[in-house]
Amino acid sequence: MVKLKRSECSVLPLVLKGKWYDMIASGEKTEEYRADTPYWHRRFSNWIMDIPVPGHLVIAFSRGYRKPDLFIEVCGINLYPNRQHPDWGEPTGSHYVIALKRRVQLIDDMKV
């Protein structure tokens, strides 16, 4: 597992259902999907603009509404018009595909 300093990362918290969380944690699912809505467009845009230099994009996944405990580095986020993988929860129509790279551990380097 790769260790990254929290100050060098832009972290986006996402909540998942247990099925999808388990598939990502095991490495079986390497993409996450979100619908192409103004909410997600704004959220991804703001998140990407917050990357420190040099920086990493990291998603903090939580299984349900609890403290995030699975941190995955992101390769990229792309918008696809009609690519479907319904058995993995991919929505129909235009949507964002988040390519997941590797599991990471975030280290607090800003202790006061």
**Position 112 in a domain:** no
74 bridge partner residues: 100
In angstroms, the CA 44 to CA 7 distance is: 19
**Position 75 in a domain:** yes
pLDDT tens for 10-38 read 999 999 999 999 999 999 999 998 888 89
**Position 21 in a domain:** yes
pTM: 0.84
Contact 48, 57 (CB under 8 A): yes
**Position 24 in a domain:** yes
**Position 44 in a domain:** yes
Contact 36, 94 (CB under 8 A): yes
pLDDT band (50, 70, 90) for residue 111: low
End-to-end CA distance of the chain: 26
In angstroms, the CA 66 to CA 37 distance is: 25
| Structural domains counted in the chain | 1
- Among 61, 76, 63, which residue's Cα sits nearest to residue 13? 61
> CATH no. for residue 78?
2.30.130.30
Q: In what helix (H) or strand (E) does residue 22 lie, and over which residues does it extend?
A: helix 18-26
Segments forming the whole domain that contains residue 80: 2-106
pLDDT tens for 90-109 read 666 788 889 999 999 999 87
**Position 71 in a domain:** yes
pLDDT tens for 34-70 read 888 899 999 998 898 888 878 899 999 999 999 999 9
